[in-house]
């Protein structure tokens, strides 16, 4: 029993923070506790949630992916250029964007594995390349006016009790569910946790380290591409500077969600809750109206600090007396 | 840990690259090396490279020390924004220059102390420890400026950005001073050795009697101070503080400069002067791309290309295939650095 409690404690704490935060908001603002707010929370953070799922996988495997924000920006530009300048139908454009983003991620994974280079710096180079490619395509913000965009934006799943889930929100929820299955009920998921826990042991146990590394960065790139499609739906435009800093927002969500940055431990669901907590802070500040936007950054920084401390505290408790805390 | 050719041969790639970039600039733009004296200050493209490269060079000096301990400081851009915001706001409120400088530098020192304590005492991974300040720092800077772009007219503070000392622009003078002081601190004392020891193996160096927490805190504090000086220069140069954009993404440029300078991200070996050379290479490329009439959009791709080439040259896998000096072991045969695992800490 204590084992299960220990395992899920970070997840429980994160979820408790979300619930308590929502209750605080609901008591302060009478209109807060409505399905509309919930639906907006999911829609507004859909691209962040999708990206954060990919980031969770990368971090679980013991790596990091700094290129996701740039890949989102590049995807929106690619879509805009293909659809508006090239006259493409959005569906093949989506396919090309997903293949490009996934291939880009897989290539970074390959470089990381083959040349044994730190993921931090390889994906940093990837970030420069993806942003640069976006700039080269166009530096303008290109509006996308294809009728399909309007139809997709009107699409929603309505429930009888009043909840209306938009397409981005549904996509995010679908990705989260698929990711949970992938992480906990497939061989790939088991390999991922093993790789993040200890690379050498994983290799000795027969985990295909190279294939898993390429796959996990490919998956992160693919999800960033999907997030780029969602972002272009959401903003109705393609802009090479779109989604700057999203890589940090997603890493923050992953950490708040209880995943350890040293790899091997964490849950996709936690990341999802972490994204919602960030969204909740932003919604609170919007509702309040008197608080300035910079309080979002400070609040998220404080939250990040508290959660890291919490993780460290748990590690020390688990390791017992004399145990050396994890160090990277 | 990392084997390298002894003596100046090790530095050849960096100086060679700088020379090649400058040569390319000169071929594209024959007046590149022309320097003229005007109003008691030197002008010219080369001076421009030095002047504009100064903030990144300053960040790279601090970053080099941090990376040598196998860390990284992502917060330097945000620290620049904080120090600039404080300088502009206080100057606008009528404080004297010494008070303004002291407050800005103190802010950088505090930020560095915060990062250092997180890394050294709480033992948080450097990337993530400094991520906190990177996220929150920009918010703090906006808090200081109350979300406005604060401008000032004080010529005393502006002198730091656009003045000159003995005809040399002040940013360049400040960079040289910081570089000299840093080099003196780490190379004339045992501090540099201790920094390298901590970078190679924190536990072993602690066992050998190095006071690792103090070394780590000192390194992050120094990095914070360097960032504060860089923030002052940028603010003084544009006579204003923009909390949103000051120093934005410069942490990445600084890391790039350090890596191009040949300091290993795995810690344990560093070259201060080479990091500054790295910053100058990056700045020369920027200037070159602008002068050659290429769109500045290509800047990022060129940067990424340079970064990848330098990394490939450092890669243990690739080194195996290259001819190696007699008697030297290929790097690949040295046990690859394994990130210490949390062992029993796993559930």
Can you spell out the DSSP letters for A89-117? -HHHHHHHHHHHHHHHHHHHHHHHHHTT-
In a domain? residue B38: no
| Per-residue pLDDT at B345 exceeds 60 | no
Do B82 and B75 form a contact (C-beta atoms < 8 A)? no
| Per-residue pLDDT at B334 exceeds 50 | no
pLDDT, block means (10 residues), chain A with 328 residues: 70 88 89 87 93 95 92 95 91 95 96 87 88 87 87 84 88 95 92 89 89 96 96 89 84 88 87 93 84 80 84 68 43
- A 36-55 → B contacts, CB under 8 A: none
In a domain? residue B171: yes
The count of domains in chain B is: 1
Cross-chain residue pair B255–A124, CB shorter than 8 Å = yes
Question: How many A/B residue pairs have CB atoms within 8 Å?
Answer: 172
Mean predicted confidence (pLDDT) in B108-114: 95
Can you give the pLDDT at residue B318?
60
| Per-residue pLDDT at B323 exceeds 60 | no
Mean predicted confidence (pLDDT) in B22-33: 79
Cross-chain residue pair B128–A327, CB shorter than 8 Å = no
- B 145-164 → A contacts, CB under 8 A: 146-147
Q: How far does CA B220 lie from the centroid of its chain? A: 12
Cross-chain residue pair A293–B147, CB shorter than 8 Å = yes
Q: What is the C-alpha separation between B13 and B21, in angstroms, rounded?
A: 12
Which of B128, B282, B320 to substitute to test the interface with A, most A CBs within 10 Å?
B128
Mean predicted confidence (pLDDT) in B251-262: 86
| β-strands B150-151, B240-241 pairing | antiparallel
| Per-residue pLDDT at B38 exceeds 80 | no
How many angstroms away from the CA of A258 is the closest CA of chain B? 13
Cross-chain residue pair A328–B340, CB shorter than 8 Å = yes
Mean predicted confidence (pLDDT) in B124-153: 85
End-to-end Cα separation, chain B, in angstroms = 32
What structural domains does chain A harbor?
Answer: 13-319 (1.10.3470)
| Per-residue pLDDT at B338 exceeds 50 | no
| Per-residue pLDDT at B346 exceeds 50 | no
**Smallest Cα–Cα separation from B131: which of A121, A266, A253?**
A253
| Other C-beta atoms lying within 10 Å of the C-beta of residue A4 | 9
* pTM, to two decimals: 0.82
Mean predicted confidence (pLDDT) in B312-332: 55
> With contacts defined as CB-CB under 8 Å, which chain A residues touch B294?
none
| Other C-beta atoms lying within 10 Å of the C-beta of residue B313 | 12
Q: Give the confidence band of B218 by pLDDT, cuts at 50, 70, 90.
A: very high
- Specify the residue for token string 């923050």: A252
| Per-residue pLDDT at B2 exceeds 60 | no
Mean predicted confidence (pLDDT) in B172-190: 91
Beta bridge partners of B42: B37
Which residues lie closer than 8 Å to B3 by C-beta, 6 or more apart? B328, B329, B331, B334
**Smallest Cα–Cα separation from A209: which of A221, A196, A222?**
A196
In a domain? residue B67: yes
* Domain span at B253: 46-315
In a domain? residue B325: no
| Per-residue pLDDT at B337 exceeds 90 | no
In a domain? residue B12: no
Cross-chain residue pair A261–B266, CB shorter than 8 Å = no
Q: What is the C-alpha separation between A13 and B232, in angstroms, rounded?
A: 41
Can you give the pLDDT at residue B229?
95
Which residues lie closer than 8 Å to B324 by C-beta, 6 or more apart? B330
| Per-residue pLDDT at B209 exceeds 60 | yes
In a domain? residue B11: no
Cross-chain residue pair B123–A7, CB shorter than 8 Å = no
- B 276-295 → A contacts, CB under 8 A: 295
Can you give the pLDDT at residue A319?
61
In a domain? residue B145: yes
Cross-chain residue pair B255–A327, CB shorter than 8 Å = no
Indicate the length of chain B as a whole number.
347
Can you give the pLDDT at residue A294?
79
Q: What is the C-alpha separation between B172 and B285, in angstroms, rounded?
A: 18
Task: Return phi, psi of residue B168, to 5°.
Answer: -95, 135
In a domain? residue B208: yes
Can you give the CATH number for the domain in which B86 is found?
1.10.3470
Cross-chain residue pair A248–B134, CB shorter than 8 Å = yes
Instruction: Indicate the average pLDDT of chain B.
Output: 81
Beta bridge partners of A166: A156
Q: Is A121 on the interface with B (CB under 8 A)?
A: yes
Q: Is A116 on the interface with B (CB under 8 A)?
A: yes
Considering only the beta carbons, identify the residue of A7, A124, A300 that sits closest to B347.
A7
Cross-chain residue pair B312–A115, CB shorter than 8 Å = yes
Can you give the pLDDT at residue A300?
82
Q: What is the C-alpha separation between A70 and A5, in angstroms, rounded?
A: 38
Residue of chain B minimizing CA distance to A62: B339
| Per-residue pLDDT at B210 exceeds 90 | no
Q: How far does CA A107 lie from the centroid of its chain? A: 20
| Other C-beta atoms lying within 10 Å of the C-beta of residue B28 | 14
If one compares B251 and A79, the residue with the highest pLDDT of the two is A79
Residue A257 token pair = 């969600």
Can you give the pLDDT at residue B228?
95
Q: Give the confidence band of B64 by pLDDT, cuts at 50, 70, 90.
A: very high
Q: What is the C-alpha separation between A26 and A30, in angstroms, rounded?
A: 6
Cross-chain residue pair B347–A3, CB shorter than 8 Å = yes
Gyration radius of chain B's alpha carbons: 21
Mean predicted confidence (pLDDT) in B184-195: 88
């Amino acid at each position: 029993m204590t084992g299960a409690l220990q395992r899920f404690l970070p997840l429980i704490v994160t979820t408790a923070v979300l619930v308590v935060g929502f209750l605080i908001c609901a008591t302060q603002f009478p209109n807060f506790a409505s399905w509309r707010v919930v639906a907006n929370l999911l829609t507004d953070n859909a691209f962040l949630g999708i990206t954060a799922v990919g980031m969770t996988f990368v971090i679980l495997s013991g790596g990091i992916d700094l290129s996701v924000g740039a890949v989102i920006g590049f995807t929106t530009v690619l879509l805009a250029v293909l659809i508006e300048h090239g006259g493409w139908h959005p569906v093949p454009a989506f396919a090309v964007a997903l293949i490009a983003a996934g291939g880009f991620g897989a290539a970074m994974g390959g470089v990381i594995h083959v040349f044994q280079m730190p993921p931090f710096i390889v994906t940093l180079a990837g970030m420069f390349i993806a942003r640069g490619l976006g700039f080269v395509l166009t530096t303008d913000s290109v509006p996308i006016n294809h009728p399909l965009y309007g139809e997709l934006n009107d699409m929603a799943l309505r429930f009888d009790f009043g909840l209306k889930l938009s397409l981005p929100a549904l996509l995010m929820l679908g990705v989260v569910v698929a990711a949970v299955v992938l992480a906990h009920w497939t061989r790939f998921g088991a390999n991922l946790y093993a790789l993040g826990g200890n690379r050498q042991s994983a290799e000795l146990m027969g985990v295909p380290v190279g294939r898993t590394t390429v796959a996990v960065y490919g998956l992160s790139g693919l999800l960033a591409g999907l997030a780029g499609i969602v972002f272009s739906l959401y903003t109705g435009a393609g802009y090479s500077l779109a989604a700057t800093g999203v890589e940090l927002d997603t890493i923050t969500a992953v950490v708040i969600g209880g995943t350890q940055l040293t790899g091997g431990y964490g849950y996709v669901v936690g990341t999802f809750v972490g994204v919602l907590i960030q969204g909740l802070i932003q919604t609170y500040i919007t509702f309040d109206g008197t608080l300035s936007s910079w309080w979002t950054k400070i609040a998220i920084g404080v939250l990040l600090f508290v959660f890291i401390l919490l993780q460290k505290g748990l590690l020390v408790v688990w390791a017992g007396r004399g145990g050396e805390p994890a160090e990277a | 840990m990392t084997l390298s050719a002894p003596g100046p041969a090790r530095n050849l790639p960096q100086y060679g690259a700088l020379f090649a970039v400058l040569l390319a600039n000169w071929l594209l733009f024959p007046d590149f090396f022309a320097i003229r004296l005007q109003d008691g200050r030197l002008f010219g493209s080369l001076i421009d490279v030095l002047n504009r490269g100064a903030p990144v060079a300053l960040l790279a000096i601090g970053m080099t020390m941090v990376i040598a301990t196998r860390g990284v400081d992502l917060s330097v851009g945000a620290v620049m924004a904080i120090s600039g915001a404080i300088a502009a706001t206080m100057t606008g409120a009528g404080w004297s220059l010494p008070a303004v400088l002291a407050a800005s530098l103190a802010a950088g020192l505090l930020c560095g102390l915060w990062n250092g304590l997180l890394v050294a005492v709480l033992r948080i991974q450097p990337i993530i420890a400094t991520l906190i300040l990177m996220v929150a720092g920009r918010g703090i800077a906006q808090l200081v400026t109350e979300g406005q772009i604060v401008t000032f007219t004080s010529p005393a503070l502006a002198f730091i950005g656009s003045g000159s000392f003995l005809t040399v622009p002040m940013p360049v003078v400040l960079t040289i001073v910081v570089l000299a002081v840093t080099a003196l601190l780490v190379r004339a004392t045992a501090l540099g050795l201790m920094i390298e020891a901590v970078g190679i193996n924190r536990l072993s160096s602690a066992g050998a009697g190095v006071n690792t927490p103090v070394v780590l805190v000192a390194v992050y504090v120094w990095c914070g101070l360097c960032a504060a000086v860089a923030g002052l220069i940028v603010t003084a140069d544009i006579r204003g503080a923009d909390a949103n954009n000051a120093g934005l993404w410069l942490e990445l440029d600084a890391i790039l400069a350090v890596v191009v300078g040949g300091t290993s991200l795995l810690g344990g070996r560093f070259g201060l002067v080479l990091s500054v050379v790295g910053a100058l290479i990056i700045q020369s490329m920027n200037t070159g791309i602008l002068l050659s009439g290429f769109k500045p959009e290509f800047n990022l791709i060129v940067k990424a290309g340079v970064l990848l080439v330098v990394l490939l040259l450092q890669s243990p896998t690739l080194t195996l295939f290259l001819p190696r000096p007699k008697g030297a072991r290929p790097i690949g045969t040295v046990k690859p650095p394994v990130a210490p695992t949390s062992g029993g800490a796993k559930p």
